[in-house]
Structure 1
Amino acid sequence: MINTLPLINFTKQSTLSDWNVVNDGVMGGRSQGEFYINQEGHATFTGFVSLENSGGFTSVRHRFQTLKTNTYDKINIRLKGDGNRYQFRTKTFQSDRHAYITYFETTGEWQTIEISLHAMYPTFRGQKINLPNFAGEQMEEIAFLIANKKAQNFRLEIDSIELQ
C-alpha cells in the first residue's frame, strides 16, 4: 500500500486565506502575480514577470502548522502550466531564511509533477548555499515561483498537492 497524504485539493469552495503572493516589489521590482480560484475550481497563479528595477520574480506561498513529513519521499502536484519553467519551494521552518527548491517544466497540458523531497537543495536569494539537501523531516511552507531571467506572462493552474 502506498502511503499518501493529500495536502491540498482545490475546489470552487476553497479558501486562499493562507496563501500569499510575494512579488519582486519587495526589492524594487515591478512584477505582478495574483492567485485565485478559477471557474473550474483550480487555484490559478498568473501575472507578468518584469525585469525593470532589478526585478524578475513573483511567487505564491502557503504557510501552515508544522507538518511531519519523515514518512514521505516525494510530493506530487497535479497542475497545468503554460510551457514555462517554474520552481517549487519548501521550508522546514517558516522563519528559515533559506528555502529548498527544485525546478519543473510545464507542457501546457494537465500533468502530474513528481518531486523527490530529498533532491530539493537549499538556496538563499537565488543562490545555492552550502547546506545539505532537504532532510524531509517536516515542513511549514510550500511555494511556487517563476523567475526565468526574462520578461514574460505566466499562468499556472493547480489542482492538487499530495505527499507520497
Structure 2
Amino acid sequence: MVGGLMLAGQVVAETTFEDFSGDANARWTYVSDSVMGGVSTGTAGIIGQGLDAMIHLRGQVSTDNNGGFIQVRRRFSESWPDSVQGLRLTVKGNGARYHVFLKTPRLSRVWHSYRASFVAPVSWQTIDIPLDMFSPSHMGIPAMFSASEVNSLAIVAYGDDFEADVSVREISLY
C-alpha cells in the first residue's frame, strides 16, 4: 500500500502495481504490428534504477500494410482486487495520444482488448484512468469486466502514423 485517494468522501487504498524495479525487463514484452505484416518499428526497455526506473517505448508507428501499433505489455496471474476503480500512471512523453489495453481471459481473439487513451505530457505527470473509461475494442466483447479478471496490461502507441516516445515510471491501482 502506497497511499490513499479520496473518492466520494472515503479513502480508497492505492497499491503499486509496477514500479519497474527488480527484473522488470523479464515482466514486460515489446510487440509491434510486424507480427501481422505491419511495418511499424520501435524498441522498449527499462532505463534507470530504483526510484528512477521506468519503461521507455519509442519508435515509428505506421499504418502502412494494415499496421499501426507498437506496444509494451505485461501478462500476469495475480488477480487485482474487485474493488479497484482505476489505474494511475506516472508518465511523460512527446505530447502524443497513447493507449492502455487491458485483457481478460474472456476475450476470444488476441487483438481484442479493453482500451482507454491518454496524452503523454512532456514532463512527468500522474494521470488517472478510471476502469469505467475502458471500452471494448470490437463488437461482441462484453461491455464490462471485473478488475479481478484483468491478466494483461499494455502501453500502446496505436492507430496513426507518428513518432512514439513515452515513458512510464509507475503504475498504481486505486
TM-score scaled to structure 2, two decimals?
0.81
Q: Point out where structure 2 has 5 or more consecutive residues left out of the alignment.
A: 1-10
2:164 counterpart letter in structure 1: F
1:69-88 equivalence runs, <5 A = 69-88=81-100
Q: How has the CA–CA distance of structure 1 residues 163 and 48 changed in structure 2, closer, same or farther, with 3 Å as cutoff?
A: same
Q: How has the CA–CA distance of structure 1 residues 66 and 15 changed in structure 2, closer, same or farther, with 3 Å as cutoff?
A: closer
Matched, 1:60 2:72: yes
The size of the alignment, in residue pairs, is 159
CA contact (8 A) 2:28 2:74 kept: yes
Shift >6 Å, 4+ stretches: none
Shift of 1:130: 5.0
In the aligned structure 2, how far is the partner of 1:130 from the partner of 1:2?
29
TM-score scaled to structure 1, two decimals?
0.86
Q: Secondary structure at the match of 1:78?
A: strand
Match of 2:16 among 6, 19, 23: 6
Match of 1:107 among 107, 113, 121: 121
1:163 counterpart letter in structure 2: L
Q: In angstroms, what is the RMSD of aligned CA positions? A: 2.0
CA contact (8 A) 2:62 2:160 kept: no
Structure 1 equivalent of residue 134 of structure 2: 120
In the aligned structure 1, how far is the partner of 2:139 from the partner of 2:160?
16
Deviations 1:70-115 (A, max 9, x none): 0110110101111110010111228642211101112211111101
Q: Point out where structure 1 has 5 or more consecutive residues left out of the alignment.
A: none
In the aligned structure 2, how far is the partner of 1:132 from the partner of 1:115?
17
